């Protein structure tokens, strides 16, 4: 999907591909450490609910993002034909 959006001829180049493959596990590691520590400090139930809210807001912001196409705006959840 990233190659389709950002890549030349719908394919990421070698450096972009490597960047995605490195950034994902590194972000995962730091997120696990951070949210694990916060769960110890604030409590597991509160952190589980905050993670649900973070994920819900992230997913809905991606689903309802607005972007330009041919000088008009449309929402990502509707077909763009």
- For 2-60, the pLDDT digits (tens) are 777 777 787 888 998 899 899 999 999 999 999 999 999 999 999 999 989 999 998 88
| Cα–Cα distance for residue pair 6/4, rounded to 1 Å | 6
Q: What is the per-residue pLDDT for 77?
A: 54
Q: What residues contact 11, with CB distance under 8 A and at least 6 apart?
A: 3
Q: What is the per-residue pLDDT for 72?
A: 44
Q: What is the per-residue pLDDT for 52?
A: 93
């Amino acid at each position: 999907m990233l190659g389709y959006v950002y890549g030349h001829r719908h394919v990421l180049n070698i450096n972009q591909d490597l960047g995605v493959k490195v950034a994902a596990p590194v972000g995962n590691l730091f997120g696990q450490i951070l949210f694990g520590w916060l769960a110890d400090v604030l409590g597991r139930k509160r952190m589980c609910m905050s993670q649900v809210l973070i994920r819900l807001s992230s997913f809905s912001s991606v689903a309802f993002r607005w972007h330009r196409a041919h000088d008009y705006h449309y929402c990502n959840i509707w077909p763009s034909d």
